[in-house]
Amino acid sequence: MKIGIIGLANSGKTTIFNALTGQDVPTTVYTTTEAQPHIGIVKVPDERVERLAQIYNPKKITFATVQYIDYLGITKGDMEQNRKVLEMIKDVDAVLHVVRVFEDEAVVHPIGDVDPLRDAETVELELILSDLDLVEKRLQRMEESRKRGKKIDEKEKAVLLKCKEALEGEQPLRDVEFTEEELLALRHLQLISLRPEVMVLNLQEEDLGTEKEKQLIKELKERFNVPVTALSGKIEMEIAQLEAEEAEEFLSDLGLKEPAMWRLIRLCYEHLGLISFLTVGKDEVRAWTIKKGTPAQKAAGKIHSDIERGFIRAEVIAFDDFISAGSMAEARERGLLRLEGKTYIVQDGDIINFRFNV
């Protein structure tokens, strides 16, 4: 899974990137213009994988991973610059939109003062304008082709017009209903407002867990129709640099249950409708990410296209059933191991052994 971090300059994107990845990229109080995006890959915490690794003691343990990309801020009214920023994250599965709530005189605000709702609106509008520009240019090119006597794809044109209308009404494309076919026709444009989004409010420590936090979350949720969560980027970045034991102590002092690193991954997983299935063995214990509702044969393709092609059956057991049985042999004995066909819908935490023939 790939997640792109966006927001205004100095909203705390890089700070939160550090918190999410445990990296230590320098942050600045002035607006940066550096050319390189920051990229961090982190494992998706999964107790099931750890438990299975204890049982199998495999040569290799592989967690599902998330890749975060942090680049420059979105600038109000600067389409050219914004396009450069968005170009960098156009193939992400989800967008993490950082909104500044923290007050700090030393940290310049690009619009002058701290106003979360206005800032979020500003960024959302820039995403919409950027998409509108792409859609209009594409329509123009199609029209030119048509004039030159070429046949154009009428289906694509229809869906582009549908996008244009929504975008002109300042509606992000993620709020528009599209058929699978329409989405396919749009795919090559890699429109950013089509991506699922999670909003993160970057609070100062004193505001954590307060009425102010609750109120803001409610307000932004209602306004933007996306999941909204809050954290203190600065604190979370410190936590991410600590050893596990120290981090736990620090968290409980602050009244937090877990680091934002975990909470945000879970939120994105839920919001994107992602689940994991597991494979086990002496060589490797591994988690694989799929979309909820994926049938067994397609899930097999995650591992290898040969397994998908030559799919015969899936031997499946739920993680909890496996743990209660204690071993595969015992699970088989108790009839907990099921043989499923290619249309079986894989469930979160299924341990699967694919039988295939190529």
Ligand X SMILES: Nc1nc2c(ncn2[C@@H]2O[C@H](COP(=O)(O)OP(=O)(O)O)[C@@H](O)[C@H]2O)c(=O)[nH]1
Q: Does 14 bind ligand X (CB under 6 A)?
A: yes
Pairing label, strands 284-291, 60-62: parallel
Least distance from C-beta 73 to ligand X, angstroms?
Answer: 5
Task: DSSP letter for 175, please.
Answer: G
CA-wise closest residue to 333 among 345, 343, 321, 341:
321
- C-beta of 127 vs 191, nearer to ligand X: 127
Q: Does 233 bind ligand X (CB under 6 A)?
A: yes
Under DSSP, is residue 7 helix (H, G, I), strand (E, B) or coil? strand
State which of residues 3, 6, 73, 240 lies at the interface with ligand X (CB under 6 A).
73
Q: Does 12 bind ligand X (CB under 6 A)?
A: yes
Report angle CA 94, 154, 178 to the nearest 5 degrees. 30
Report angle CA 124, 130, 133 to the nearest 5 degrees. 140
Interacting residues toward Mg ion by CB under 5 A: 13-14
State which of residues 3, 4, 6, 7 lies at the interface with ligand X (CB under 6 A).
7
Pairing label, strands 197-202, 94-100: parallel
Least distance from C-beta 124 to ligand X, angstroms?
Answer: 16
Least distance from C-beta 72 to ligand X, angstroms?
Answer: 8
Count CB neighbours of 304 within 10 A: 13
- CB of 202 closer than 8 Å to CB of 116: no
Least distance from C-beta 81 to Mg ion, angstroms?
Answer: 14
Residue 15 binding target from Mg ion, ligand X, none, CB below 5 to 8 Å by type: ligand X
Least distance from C-beta 175 to Mg ion, angstroms?
Answer: 28
Task: DSSP letter for 95, please.
Answer: E
Dist CA 195 CA 121 (whole Å): 16
Of residues 101 through 120, those in contact with ligand X by CB under 6 A are: 102, 104, 107
| φ, ψ of residue 2 in degrees (nearest 5) | -120, 130
Least distance from C-beta 6 to ligand X, angstroms?
Answer: 9
Residue 294 binding target from Mg ion, ligand X, none, CB below 5 to 8 Å by type: none
Residue 322 binding target from ligand X, Mg ion, none, CB below 5 to 8 Å by type: none
CA-wise closest residue to 11 among 122, 131, 129:
122
AA letter at 226? V
Q: Does 23 bind ligand X (CB under 6 A)?
A: no
Binding pattern for the stretch 85-104 against ligand X, x by CB under 6 A and - elsewhere: -----------------x-x
Q: Give residues in contact with ligand X (CB under 6 A).
A: 7, 9-15, 27-29, 73, 102, 104, 107, 202, 204, 232-234
